[in-house]
Amino acid sequence: MPFPDSDVTVADSLKMLHFLFAADIAPTQVAAIIIEPVQGEGGFRVAPTALLKELRQICDEHGIKLIADEVQSGFARTGKMFGIEHSGVEPDLVSVAKSLGGGLPISGVIGRADLMDSVPPGGLGGTYAGAPLACAAALAVLDVIEEDNLLDRANAMGDRLRARIEGWHKRTDLLPVSMPRGLGAMIAFDILESHGSTEQRAGAAGKLCTLACEKGLILLACGVKGATIRILTPLTASDALLDEGLDLIEQILSEAAKA
């Protein structure tokens, strides 16, 4: 389904879903609809609440399970424990990983008891399922999220990131960048074709990541055009460390503008 964006409305997305139901698969044959509340690889695009609410209704109507993929947006990153909480919509299942382990490899599925308990003991398995070290790390992560108030920290970090990116957006001596996008500390910006344009500069983010790496800063690109830089600083990083990274990005945007 096309994800809502500048040129795709919620109505367009839903129209396509109904088209799929009519032309390809009857809704009674659909087991689940999976959506990222905030897209990760897709460019940190936030799923509009109206879309999530409508999907919930469609799922309820046809007995389809709604799955929130929170692998990237989960565990405080968006300023709430899970990204979908911003919409008030309750999914049936939630997939989790990444931040849950604080660096150790762990993933999981959270769901309504009736669904989770429908699997017999041993029915949900895997080679590394229940790996004790990763489970201990995940339990520690949950403690740190609570003890260090990482939900508040994600929001404060997001405000800091947004303010800085908004400043870059206004400057004509830097590589042209968009306004920030995202929720909480899950923030991204696009490299644009020119100042004042909204056209993304295809492939520009990868080049910026390479330049950042040379300066000792790890950045990640995303988005279908490879023009988006996503900032995924650990929520436990200090403001000083965050600012050091942002200063480096600004330096790179300045050097790239002159190149």
Ligand X SMILES: Cc1ncc(COP(=O)(O)O)c(C=O)c1O
Q: What minimum distance in Å lies between the beta carbon of 22 and ligand X?
A: 28
The yes or no reply on residue 72 touching ligand X (CB under 6 A) is: yes
In the bound complex, what is the minimum distance in angstroms from residue 65's beta carbon to ligand X?
17
The residue sitting closest to ligand X, measured at its beta carbon, is 71
Q: Which two tokens stand for residue 225?
A: 């055009």
Residue 94 found at the interface with ligand X (CB under 6 A):
no
Between 69 and 190, CB nearer to ligand X: 69
- Cβ-based burial of 108 (10 A; exposed 0-12, middle 13-18, buried ≥19): middle
- Residue of the chain from 47, 55, 68, 97 that contacts ligand X (CB under 6 A): 97
- For ligand X, the binding residue among 4, 37, 40, 176 (CB under 6 A) is 40
Name the one range near ligand X by CB under 6 A: 69-77, 146-154, 159-167, 195-203.
Answer: 69-77
Looking at beta carbons only, is 27 or 42 nearer to ligand X?
Answer: 42
CB of 27 to ligand X, least distance (A): 24
Query: Closer to ligand X at the Cβ: 78 or 168?
Result: 78
- Rounded to 5°, the CA angle 28-56-13 comes to 85
Residues 206, 100: Cα–Cα separation, whole Å = 27
Q: Number of residues in contact with ligand X, rule: CB under 6 A?
A: 8
Kindly state the DSSP code that residue 163 receives in the 8-state scheme: H
Q: Does 107 bind ligand X (CB under 6 A)?
A: yes
User: CB–CB of 109/94 below 8 Å?
Assistant: yes
Minimum separation from the CB atom of position 40 to ligand X (A): 4
Query: Quick check: helix, strand or coil at residue 110?
Result: strand
Is 68 a binder of ligand X (CB under 6 A)?
no
Q: CA–CA separation, 138 vs 3, rounded Å?
A: 31
Nearest to 69 by CA among 42, 101, 38: 38
Question: Where do the DSSP E strands lie in the chain?
Answer: 32-35, 65-69, 93-96, 108-111, 181-183, 186-190, 220-222, 228-231
At 174, list the tokens: 């830097």
Residues within the interface to ligand X (CB under 6 A) = 36, 40-41, 69, 71-72, 97, 107
